[in-house]
Structure 1
Amino acid sequence: MNSAIMKYLYIFPHPDDESFGPAAGMHQQLRQGHEVHLLTLTKGGATQQRQRLGLSIDEMGEVRHQEMLAVQQTLGLTSMTVLDLPDSGLKHMDPRELEEVVRYQIERLRPDIVVSYPVHGISGFHDHLVMHAVIKRLYLQMLDEGVGYLKRLAFFTVPDGGGPAIETNGFRLKQSLPEEIDCILELNEENIDAMKRALACYATYQETIERSGVVELIGSRLHFEIFNETHQPALSDLAAALPAVHRE
């Protein structure tokens, strides 16, 4: 295990993205003494849940923001930033504008390790796909410009175990092949409980969370791809075997 204190920045498009699995790893990293920051690009107000609750997009966004504040407190995150970009509308934005917004947050926090969604976005939802492309291109540009504090870009994913396709909440989940998995975190009961408590913060989503079977899907392991790196066997710590700094 890497003994140096790392600064992680998790970047996701919507409220609850961080709790559907990553929260367990975030809890583990916090307990290891690392800094864990969360950046969420939208308030998630366009969700269909708002129709059930009779709320406008703005009203639903505020409800979800309050739920996220509960997640921040539950996990003990080092910091959390929730932006108000258009939920379900990232594909309509100029990607250069998105890059500028994300870059500002990266430069403000100066993380060692950035974590987001893989190219398939797990759910395949277009907000996830747009975000992946923006972050990957921005990461490479910043390395080319000589930004030395960025050490790794990782993608939280679901592994393809060779069984039938996984379907949840009307989505057929996209999975990463075994050879694409570069890091597997072994979770203890405290990590798993932290994920359950984070999920419980989303009072408006409990039926969806229950139907998703996410707790059973994650089990006792979190899986990650690592961009432009190959680790076989897979690492057991996202901060292990960091490559040399690209530029000074």
Structure 2
Amino acid sequence: MTKSRTVAFIYAHPDDETFGCSYLIRQIADEGNKPILFTATRGDAGKTGHLGAMTREELATKRDVELAKAVDILGISVMEQAGMGDGKLKEVAPAVLQQQIADFLRRHEADVVVTFPEDGISGHSDHIVIHHAVNEVVFGGQAPSVQKLYYNQMGSFASDISSVIWIEENGKWEVKRRALEVHESQILSIERVFGKLGPDVPPQHRVEAFELAWEHGVHFPKRVETSIFDHLK
């Protein structure tokens, strides 16, 4: 019997997992492996879409519900939130954030980690803080079970210095669309990226791309892969 693998998605806000990784997460779950999610904040500093004015606690509660629905749609096995300050991760002592991430990865014995690239995709400071925190944990050996680290990219991506794997939509747009829709408070940001959500896949979102940043101690190995599980021990 093939060993079940655990893939940890480490992000800053509710909805980060859905924007960039829905196809991959659903594929992992459908193949009998275990996608798990760590979210550093509850997203209480975000916008409210068409829902009107909310206090930060009201928005946090709303986004908790939205995330729980998305987690169910995507097939995420475990979800944990650290409840740190939204928009304020750069004010958190790096060692504190790193410890929480490392504890999460160790407790669930993650084999593979997926997180933001260096620019955080959007340049959001919270995203960039998470990128560096995950690097410190993985590169520093604070989570010994981790064998590979990927950075997700929005849309198509290619590199001359590293390996990139593409996850095709292959019928999974409906899952991604449904997961995006339940993040109701963030609909304005969603429509800015994906347009009006409908049954047809937006042409620029037919794939999700992931760059192999680290494997068994080697940074940006160059190889051809067919799965994020290739070359695991």
TM > 0.5: yes
Match of residue 229 from structure 1? 220
Alignment of 1:56-71 (within 5 A): 56-71=55-70
Match of residue 216 from structure 2? none
Match of residue 134 from structure 1? 133
SS at match of 2:35: strand
> CA 1:195 to 1:51, structure 2 compared with 1: closer, same or farther past 3 Å?
closer
Match of residue 14 from structure 1? 13
| Alpha-carbon contact 1:155-1:225 (below 8 Å) kept | yes
| Alpha-carbon contact 2:8-2:36 (below 8 Å) kept | yes
Of Structure 1 and Structure 2, the greater strand share is in: 2
Please state if 1:183 is matched with 2:165.
Answer: yes
Q: Which amino acid aligns with 1:236?
A: T
Measured against aligned partners, the alpha-carbon deviations of 1:225-245 in whole angstroms (never above 9, x if no partner) come to 112132344x22111133x6x
* Deviation, structure 1 residue 192: 1.9
Match of residue 192 from structure 1? 173
Alignment of 1:102-121 (within 5 A): 102-121=101-120
Measured against aligned partners, the alpha-carbon deviations of 1:18-49 in whole angstroms (never above 9, x if no partner) come to 11130111001111111110111100000133
Match of residue 89 from structure 1? 88
Match of residue 146 from structure 2? 150
Match of residue 72 from structure 2? 73
> CA 1:51 to 1:200, structure 2 compared with 1: closer, same or farther past 3 Å?
closer
Match of residue 184 from structure 2? 203
| Alpha-carbon contact 1:199-1:209 (below 8 Å) kept | yes
- Percent identity between matched residues is 23
Measure the CA separation in 2 of the matches of 1:134 and 1:202. 26
| Alpha-carbon contact 1:21-1:195 (below 8 Å) kept | no
Q: Which amino acid aligns with 1:153?
A: L
| Alpha-carbon contact 2:20-2:153 (below 8 Å) kept | no
Q: Which amino acid aligns with 1:28?
A: Q
> CA 1:53 to 1:129, structure 2 compared with 1: closer, same or farther past 3 Å?
same
TM-score when scaled to structure 2? 0.86
Measured against aligned partners, the alpha-carbon deviations of 1:57-112 in whole angstroms (never above 9, x if no partner) come to 12111110110011112122111112210000001111111111112211211100
TM-score when scaled to structure 1? 0.81
> CA 1:216 to 1:9, structure 2 compared with 1: closer, same or farther past 3 Å?
same
| Structure 2 gap segments, 5+ residues each | 196-200, 214-218
Q: Which amino acid aligns with 1:155?
A: Y
Q: Which moved more, 1:130-139 or 1:152-161?
A: 152-161
Count of equivalent residues? 222
Match of residue 36 from structure 2? 37
| Alpha-carbon contact 1:28-1:187 (below 8 Å) kept | no
| Alpha-carbon contact 2:155-2:204 (below 8 Å) kept | no
Q: Which amino acid aligns with 1:226?
A: L
Measured against aligned partners, the alpha-carbon deviations of 1:166-217 in whole angstroms (never above 9, x if no partner) come to xxxxxxxxxx74644522222311x221111110111222233122227636
Q: Which amino acid aligns with 2:185?
A: T
SS at match of 2:18: coil
SS at match of 2:16: coil
> CA 1:218 to 1:5, structure 2 compared with 1: closer, same or farther past 3 Å?
farther
Match of residue 228 from structure 2? 238
Match of residue 172 from structure 1? none
Q: Which amino acid aligns with 1:157?
A: Q
| Structure 1 gap segments, 5+ residues each | 162-175
* Deviation, structure 1 residue 52: 6.5
SS at match of 1:53: coil
